[in-house]
């Protein structure tokens, strides 16, 4: 009986940890949202190393900033995607990756790149080689010397709402983009990336804790 109490107490501790991690994850996601709103509304501005203001931001049309790369040479069918392999397969779904493939002839390596879901409006950023999974993916590169990670965040913040399973890229192309100096772009991108890294770390810890509890329960009731 004493052993059962110990197990129950341990499971309660795991539940508390899961709840705390979920709350922590929500806090950091809300913090990121707040920071993005403040940064891109220019209510929060970075300064140079000597404390001076950076130049005023300029407004550019979408097609002045981005060029779209054809995915035909880098695309495989959904039926060809495997659960394991050497190369990641990325599509327009919510998950970071769709699966894996070993088709090296299909690798996209012109990195970094922004991945836009034409049907889903989901935006991803990749600085690692991958293969495109199925249709509906747009690959975006910058035309000038802007920092692509900054452009990813500004697109993420200004993204259009999904209108169901239809093409959205033509609508996305109508938005205007506020662009600061390259140095301020870099500071914004670095700052937001650090928040994303923290969010990812918490999410991994949360998932590992849930999996640990699940495995423990399975062993107990086998």
* Residues whose CB is less than 8 angstroms from the CB of residue 56 and which lie 6 or more positions away in sequence, other chains included: none
The span from the CA of 136 to the CA of 169, in Å, is 9
Residue 66, pLDDT score: 97
> Are the CB atoms for 46 and 54 separated by under 8 Å?
yes
Question: Which residue in this structure is represented by tokens 């394991």?
Answer: 84
Predicted confidence (pLDDT) per residue in 53-111, tens digit:
999 999 999 999 999 999 999 999 989 999 999 999 999 999 999 999 999 999 999 99
113-117 and 99-101 beta bridge pairing? unpaired
Pairing of strands 131-133, 75-76: parallel
pLDDT higher than 80, residue 1: no
Q: Is the model's pLDDT at 220 over the cut of 90?
A: no
CB-facing half-sphere around the CA of 9: CA atoms within 13 A: 6
pLDDT at 163 (0 to 100): 79
pLDDT tier, 160 (very low <50, low <70, confident <90, very high otherwise): confident
Q: What is the pLDDT of residue 69?
A: 95
The pLDDT assigned to 204 comes to: 97
Residue-range domain boundaries for the chain:
1-57+181-222, 63-179
SS3 184: helix
Q: Which of 1-10, 38-47, 67-76, 171-180 has the lowest mean pLDDT?
A: 1-10
For the entire predicted model, the pTM comes to: 0.89
Across the chain, what does the average pLDDT equal? 93
The average pLDDT across 1-15 equals 81
Sign of the CA dihedral with 12 first, then 14, 19, and 23 last: positive
Beta bridge partners of 100: 82, 88
Q: How far apart are CA 149 and CA 187, in angstroms?
A: 11
Radius of gyration for the alpha carbons in the chain, expressed in angstroms and rounded: 21
For the segment 146-157, the average pLDDT, to the nearest whole number, is: 96
Q: Identify the burial level of 63 via C-beta atoms within 10 angstroms of its C-beta, where 0-12 means exposed, 13-18 middle and 19 or more buried.
A: exposed
CATH number listed for the domain at residues 63-179: 3.90.220.20
pLDDT greater than 80 at residue 2:
no
Fold of 1-57+181-222: Helix Hairpins (1.10.287)
Nearest alpha-carbon partner for 138 in 185, 100, 90, 105: 90
Confidence of residue 222 (pLDDT cuts 50, 70, 90): low
């Amino acid at each position: 009986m004493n052993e059962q109490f110990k197990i129950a107490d341990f499971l309660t501790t795991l539940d508390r940890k899961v709840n705390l991690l979920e709350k922590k994850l929500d806090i950091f996601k809300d913090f990121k949202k707040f920071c993005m709103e403040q940064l891109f509304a220019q209510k929060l501005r970075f300064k140079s190393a000597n404390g001076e203001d950076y130049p005023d931001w300029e407004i550019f049309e979408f097609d002045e900033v981005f060029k779209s790369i054809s995915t035909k040479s880098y695309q495989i069918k959904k039926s060809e995607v495997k659960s394991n392999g050497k190369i990641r397969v990325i599509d327009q779904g919510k998950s970071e990756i769709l699966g894996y493939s070993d088709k090296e002839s299909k690798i996209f390596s012109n990195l970094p790149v922004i991945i836009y879901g034409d049907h889903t409006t989901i935006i991803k950023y990749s600085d690692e080689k991958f293969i495109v999974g199925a249709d509906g993916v747009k690959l975006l590169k910058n035309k000038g010397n802007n920092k692509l990670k900054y452009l990813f965040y500004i697109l993420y913040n200004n993204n259009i709402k999904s209108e169901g399973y239809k093409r959205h890229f033509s609508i996305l192309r109508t938005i205007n983009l506020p662009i600061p100096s390259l140095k301020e772009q870099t500071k914004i991108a670095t700052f937001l990336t650090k928040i994303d890294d923290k969010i990812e770390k918490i999410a991994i810890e949360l998932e590992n804790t849930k999996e640990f509890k699940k495995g423990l329960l399975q062993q107990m009731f086998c």
